[in-house]
Amino acid sequence: MLDARIPDGPLAEKWSNFKSHARLVNPANRKKLTVIVVGTGLAGSALAASMAEMGYHVKCFCFQDTPRRAHSVAAQGGVNACKNYKNDGDSVYRMFYDTIKGGDFRSREANVYRLAECSASLIDQAVAQGVPFAREYGGYLNNRSFGGVQVSRTFYARGQTGQQLLLGAYQALMRQVGLGNVELHARHEMMDLVLTDGVARGIIVRNMDTGKLERYGGHAVVLATGGFGKIYFLSTLAMGANGSAIWRAYKRGAYMANPSWTQIHPTCLPQSGEYQSKLTLMSESLRNDGRIWVPKKQDDQRSPNNIPEEERDYYLERKYPAFGNLSPRDIASRAAKERIDEGYGVGPLRNAVYLDFTRAIQNQGEAAIRKKYGNLFTMYQKITNVNAYKEPMKISPAAHFSMGGLWVDYELMTTIPGLFAIGEANFADHGANRLGANSLLQACVDGYFIAPYTLANYLAADIKTGPIDTEDVAFAKAQVGVEEFMSKLLAIKGNQSADQFHRLLGKILYDKCGLLRSKEGLMAAITEIRQLKAEFWKNLHVPGGEAMNSELEKAGRVADFLELAELMCNDALYRNESCGAHFRVEYQTPDGEALRNDKDFAFVSAWEYKGEDNGPELHKEELNFDVVTPTVRSYK
Amino acid sequence: MNIRLKIWRQEHEGDAGKMVDYSLNDISSDMSFLEMLDTLNEQLIQKNERTIEFDHDCREGICGQCGVMINGRPHGPLTNTTTCQLHMRTFKDNELIVIEPFRATAFPVKCDLKVDRSAFDRIIQAGGFISVNTGQAPEANDIPIGSPVAESAFDAAACIGCGACVAVCKNASAALFTSAKISHLVLLPQGKIEAAARVKNMVEQMDNEGFGHCSNTEACEVACPQAISVLHIARMNYEYNKLQVLKK
Amino acid sequence: MAKSIQRTLSRKNWMAVTGLFLCFYLVIHLLGNLQLLLPDERAHIQFNWYAEVLSGNIIIRVVSWILFASIIGHIIYALIITLTNNHARNIRYQYDRRSAESKWYTRNMGVLGTVILIFLLIHLRDFWYIYKFGDLPVDEKGRKDLYVLVIKVYSDLWYVLLYVVCMIALFYHLLHGFFSAARTLGLYHPRYVRWVKMFGWVYSVVICAGFAFIPLYVHFVK
């Protein structure tokens, strides 16, 4: 059993207990300590800036050309915080409960409570940084409601909340770079983690402009590298998003927790052809006014406006009358997939469902709809050339968020001492399904308010260590390993591109380890992934050389994805229950709902790497529900 | 549809570089512009040629990483659209499409279509922030801000830092980028305190990076994917002049 | 070192201030020249009187120094700014269609300015220089007879056409220059920006139409 090192005391006092007793580092000693932060999204930028403000020396890395482009920038909807500004009965406890219930009772109580507890400070911090949240006419902050909760606690900046929060963190980071407290290395990709005596002491990175490998040492290494949903190839993620940093950490001994739990978002644009590179997300808020339907007849070729009302199946309203079109993400996605698989899909590839605004436009007028969603309708038209005021949108589910990630304890430290994982890169707070507007929150809270305390607690023991020597043999060995890996990729000289393998991998995962999973499917997937991996190492072609080479970058990431995919399938195969985003077809109620098994599976699966030739070893972290009682989620 | 392409190829910074002709047949008009480049790169890989390096990441118009000159205009012929949001249906069958990197002395070309825009980071480092450490913030609603003010600040803050304003400007001026940040922060009460130092340092950095003067042609607003208003430039000038008049 | 370099924004301020002074001067100049439209006899006497007052008055003399300084300052700053701007993009685009994104005259202030400068030199040579240093007959009141010179010069059709063409260049220069100066000085409020734009239009039309009308009137009517 894994020990998450949760502090003693009642749930509501655990975090303050920890803070009161955590070790500290004297301001004079802080500049002697170096923290490496990989990734500059919300979690990474926030942490790097906060640590530098306190006086630590920070080295910060990102693969983008500037920290401001990290994919946190793309989050649209908002960020949750229990300020109770709407006087509608919100509280830390309610937010905690909503989140743990939304996660289908598969997350750690103490972490989730802390997330809710710190949420209010985040809003204060962001406002002080100049984040232009939406305001009411009196000048006070405005909120809106979001899926899965009964209060209004979502703060937002139009449809660009992620961008504005990230710019706030980016500016704080830039301030520290300007002051010389942070060494920024943009266009550097982490290739390996370096351990000395079992402790994380540095990283090997590749300068993506020159292709040169560089070594950086630090007293602690923090991975804030985001999620790996891009493993499905077609996803809502950025093209560069990858799982390589956490995968290499996994291979160095960090455990990977619940890797198969991926949120598939219901409202994305469907694939329109084989060339497609990504699926754009359309904000969930559209479901407030849009109605989702498919034709009642299979393979109906008529244009949607020619299908009369009585021949339409509003399946969400039919199956979930209480929540209807506002059912949670996992349920809405699964229902759409079920209809599409049954042959009711629409669009040229029969892979979409309709999201129809006709009734909303009739009731509220086109102007009102334009005011609420104008930018989304414009975006839809830009991409599809269809006017959604006149014709329903076509949407389909797409891979979006990784609830799984590196296993971390209460202090966000992985099983490798000195290696921390924050934000989407860890597994911690969302359980088996993430609620809308909680991802920005978790990234920010980890970066601003949690990791700075827990890192200090860890670093306090390191003040006498002195500078880390990157000439150490561990660094040299790690670098040689990376060099060999890169030359191996370049040397294959087969006839297929990295993207071609990635597409095939994505297809396997969507089919067998996506919205619906089955024992047979997952076993078949493992075989197919192994074949694909063998084919990859035999037939990959990377043109160009070691210098700037996007194809080489992609190849390295796909190589890691191929290994990670197998672990995902193993994880999904082991979990003989359905919970949240993880739906095993064998485990469902007679009417097709997820059937959770709290007796046997109320634990976190944490996988340990055991070498190339051996399977991973499972460790369990038991989930104890001292405060809440797990119930069956019902949206009927 | 079929298209003909002329694309800038350059091995590395300092290399001479040249335009190279390519053609693509039977591509879908629903493809995005970057997917068209992906398709071309696929073909280059089959021929064992070095692929075309271009910047891109989110492919939904918000990260600001993509951006090239397409037929002589930054981000192509559509206004207020990033390169990744442009689709091939915008072009005609058999059209010649010319693709070049953004050009400015402050944005050196690194390889093919990739340019170094770190000058923008340094402008922000010079003062594009509010100096508040984590933990110092007061209760959020202690700073009431009228909705119209918050909305104006948002309009300025919406900048994605793609560099199209510099690329389109006849003087390669970074006035719109710099002023958008100055304007965003000075509009808010929390940002007013440092306004004078901010405008001084950011303008100084903007000049030191080698950007040109603003001639108020307003091309930047047209090219800007977020349609950021040129009035922010006026706001920057106002803040700068206020500083010059009031300085001791 | 950075401190000693004048900032781009300061240079633009000097362009704006000198430009606006020249705009103001144009108004005075036009008002004076409108006297040429008076009936022959009155125009003759009054115009020569006006010319003498302008050349003899110490205040006017100071203003004229500022005027020349403004012209020279405007030109020198234009040169400095243009050189820096050229340096800001040392590699040109191979294929350039950026013209679609802005108005032609906003991008060609330097060209328009050069046309105006050439015109100015011709203009100074033909009137100011002759009035100051040349041999001019005197009128019945004993004043230098500038009026006769004006009538003579404007009797040449080509000369009149040159004037009209240069006034068109001036029109576009003013159209962008006036509003651009206001922006450079920091006028950011959208309502007043609209007003200034409108005023700039009216101003440019009135000034340039006025200056172009006078030689045409003199040539064809007088």
Report the distance separating Cα B33 and Cα B88, nearest Å: 6
Nearest to A308 by CA among A293, A329, A330: A293
Report the distance separating Cα A55 and Cα A26, nearest Å: 10
CB-CB under 8 Å, B173 with C109? no
CB-CB under 8 Å, A128 with B136? yes
Residue A628 has pLDDT above 90, yes or no: yes
Residue C4 has pLDDT above 70, yes or no: no
Q: Determine, yes or no, domain membership for A206.
A: no
Q: Pairing relation of β-strands A152-155 and A79-80?
A: antiparallel
Nearest to B160 by CA among A167, C94, C196: A167
Burial class (CB in 10 A: 0-12, 13-18, 19+), A545: exposed
Domain boundaries, given as residue ranges, for chain B: 3-105, 117-246
* Residue of A47, A58, A163 to mutate for B, most B C-beta atoms under 10 A: A163
Question: In this structure, what CATH number is given to the domain that contains residue A288?
Answer: 3.90.700.10
Q: Determine, yes or no, domain membership for A278.
A: yes
More confident residue, C176 or A274: C176
Q: What is the mean pLDDT of chain C?
A: 93
Q: Which residue has the tokens 């192509």?
A: B76
Residue A34 has pLDDT above 90, yes or no: yes
**CA of B6 to nearest chain A CA: how many angstroms apart?**
20
Report the distance separating Cα A568 and Cα A262, nearest Å: 10
- Please, what is the Cα angle at B97 between B92 and B101, to 5 degrees? 145
CB-CB under 8 Å, B168 with C10? no
Percent over 70 (pLDDT), chain A: 100
Cα Dmax for chain A: 76
Report the distance separating Cα A7 and Cα A9, nearest Å: 7
**C-beta of residue A267 within 8 angstroms of C-beta of residue A286:** yes
Query: A293 - beta bridge partners?
Result: A354
Residue B122 has pLDDT above 80, yes or no: yes
Residues of chain B with Cβ-Cβ distance to A550 below 8 Å are: 51, 53
* Residue of B75, B204, B217, B221 to mutate for C, most C C-beta atoms under 10 A: B217
Residue of A nearest to B126 (CA): A178
Residues of chain C with Cβ-Cβ distance to B4 below 8 Å are: none
Report the distance separating Cα A544 and Cα A397, nearest Å: 36
Residue A341 has pLDDT above 60, yes or no: yes
Report the distance separating Cα C97 and Cα C74, nearest Å: 30
Q: Determine, yes or no, domain membership for A301.
A: yes
Report the distance separating Cα A582 and Cα A605, nearest Å: 13
Q: What is the mean pLDDT of chain A?
A: 95
Report the distance separating Cα A23 and Cα A69, nearest Å: 35
| C191 interface with B at CB cutoff 8 Å | no
| Confidence (pLDDT) at A150 | 82
Q: What is the pLDDT of residues B152-206, one digit of tens each?
A: 999 999 999 999 999 999 999 999 999 999 999 999 999 999 999 999 999 999 9
Give the number of residues written for chain A: 636
Residue B3 has pLDDT above 60, yes or no: yes
Query: Quick one: which H or E segment has residue A144?
Result: strand A144-145
Phi and psi (nearest 5°) for B131?
A: -80, 85
* pLDDT band (50, 70, 90) for residue A556: very high
**C-beta of residue B110 within 8 angstroms of C-beta of residue A548:** yes
Helix (H, G, I), strand (E, B) or coil at C108: coil
Domain B117-246 maps to which CATH number in 1.10.1060.10, 3.20.20.10, 1.10.1040.10, 1.10.10.10?
Answer: 1.10.1060.10
**C-beta of residue A78 within 8 angstroms of C-beta of residue A154:** yes
CB-CB under 8 Å, B48 with A543? yes
| Confidence (pLDDT) at A231 | 98
* pLDDT band (50, 70, 90) for residue C1: very low
Beta carbon pairs, A and B, within 8 Å:
222
Q: Is residue A329 annotated as a catalytic residue, yes or no?
A: yes
Residue B23 has pLDDT above 90, yes or no: yes
Q: What is the pLDDT of residues C5-41, one digit of tens each?
A: 789 999 999 999 999 999 999 999 999 999 999 998 9
Report the distance separating Cα B50 and Cα B52, nearest Å: 7
| Confidence (pLDDT) at B180 | 98
* pLDDT band (50, 70, 90) for residue A326: confident
Nearest to A261 by CA among A452, A470, A509: A509
Average the pLDDT over A85-110 and give the result: 95
Residue of A130, A134, A548 lying closest to B190 (CB–CB): A130
A568-595 exposure pattern, b = at least 16 Cβ within 10 A, e = fewer? bbbbbbebebbbbbbbbeebeeeeebbb
Domain B3-105 maps to which CATH number in 3.50.50.60, 3.10.20.30, 3.40.50.720, 3.20.20.210?
Answer: 3.10.20.30
Average the pLDDT over B77-92 and give the result: 95
| Confidence (pLDDT) at A95 | 97
Report the distance separating Cα B19 and Cα B9, nearest Å: 6
Residue C3 has pLDDT above 60, yes or no: no
Q: Which two tokens stand for residue C151?
A: 């009538």
Report the distance separating Cα C136 and Cα C149, nearest Å: 8
**C-beta of residue A564 within 8 angstroms of C-beta of residue A556:** no
Residue of C nearest to B240 (CA): C9
Q: Pairing relation of β-strands A220-223 and A213-217?
A: unpaired
**C-beta of residue B178 within 8 angstroms of C-beta of residue B184:** no
Report the distance separating Cα A138 and Cα A125, nearest Å: 21
CB-CB under 8 Å, A130 with B57? no
Residue B98 has pLDDT above 90, yes or no: yes
Handedness of CA A54, A55, A57, A63 (dihedral sign): positive
Angle between helices B118-127 and B175-187 (to 10 degrees): 30
Q: What is the pLDDT of residues A124-155, one digit of tens each?
A: 999 999 999 999 999 999 998 877 678 999 99
- Domain count of the fold of chain A: 1
Instruction: Give the per-residue SS3 of A322-381.
Output: CCHHHCCHHHHHHHHHHHHHHHHCECCCCCEEEEECHHHHHHHCHHHHHHHHHHHHHHHH
Nearest to A20 by CA among A32, A9, A34: A9
Q: What is the pLDDT of residues C78-125, one digit of tens each?
A: 999 999 999 999 999 999 999 999 999 999 999 999 999 999 999 999
Give residue A286's domain range.
264-397
CB-CB under 8 Å, C187 with B103? no
Phi and psi (nearest 5°) for C64?
A: -65, -35
Nearest to A155 by CA among A367, A438, A347, A385: A438
What's the complex ipTM?
Answer: 0.98
Q: What is the pLDDT of residues A174-230, one digit of tens each?
A: 999 999 999 999 999 999 999 999 999 999 999 999 999 999 999 999 999 999 999
Q: Pairing relation of β-strands A405-406 and A256-257?
A: antiparallel
**CA of B191 to nearest chain A CA: how many angstroms apart?**
7
Percent over 70 (pLDDT), chain B: 100
* pLDDT band (50, 70, 90) for residue C2: very low
Average the pLDDT over A494-516 and give the result: 97
From A215, A329, A517, A584, active-site residue: A329
| Listed range (A553-557, B238-242, C35-39) with the worst mean pLDDT | C35-39
Alpha helices (runs of H) in A417-549, residue ranges in sequence order: 439-445, 451-459, 473-491, 498-512, 519-539
**C-beta of residue A68 within 8 angstroms of C-beta of residue A238:** no
Nearest to A121 by CA among C50, B81, B67, B133: B133
Highest mean pLDDT among A74-83, A214-223, A374-383: A214-223
Nearest to A170 by CA among A549, A447, A551, A527: A447
Handedness of CA A80, A84, A88, A92 (dihedral sign): positive
**C-beta of residue A138 within 8 angstroms of C-beta of residue A99:** no
| B232 interface with A at CB cutoff 8 Å | no
| Confidence (pLDDT) at A593 | 87
Letter for the amino acid at A171?
A: Q
Q: Which residue has the tokens 């700014």?
A: C81
